[in-house]
Amino acid sequence: MCPSFACHEIAFRDIRAIRKISTNFDEFDLAFGKISKNFDRRLGKFGFFSNNFEQFRKFWQIHLFFQNIYAPAEPLAENAACHPCPAAPSSKP
């Protein structure tokens, strides 16, 4: 398993929680703030984004806006297929 897969899985789980709390883009920051301490603590144990959490928050805020934050949450497998782990080895020769 690639080292950042767990981080992706944590991110998608917490993003689903945000989508359940938030009903529009204006409420995104408020919803994110409600779980950010737990999110940061869990990501921090992997040492991934732990020093750049604010940048990570902004990235996901923009990313989800363009991925249609209002859509129903997809299963993790579909998210993983749409968002391949950058650390995963390429299947191309």
Indicate whether this model's pTM tops 0.85. Answer: no
Predicted confidence (pLDDT) per residue in 4-26, tens digit: 555 556 666 666 665 555 445 44
Average pLDDT over every residue of 79-88: 50
Q: What is the pLDDT of residue 12?
A: 65
Go through 34-72 and write b for each residue having 16 or more CB atoms within 10 A of its CB, e for each that does not.
ebbeebbebbeeeebbeeeeeebbeebeeebeeeebeee
- Per-residue pLDDT at 3: 47
Q: What is the pLDDT of residue 16?
A: 64
Name the percent of the chain lying above pLDDT 90. 0
Residue 90 in this model has a pLDDT that exceeds 60:
no
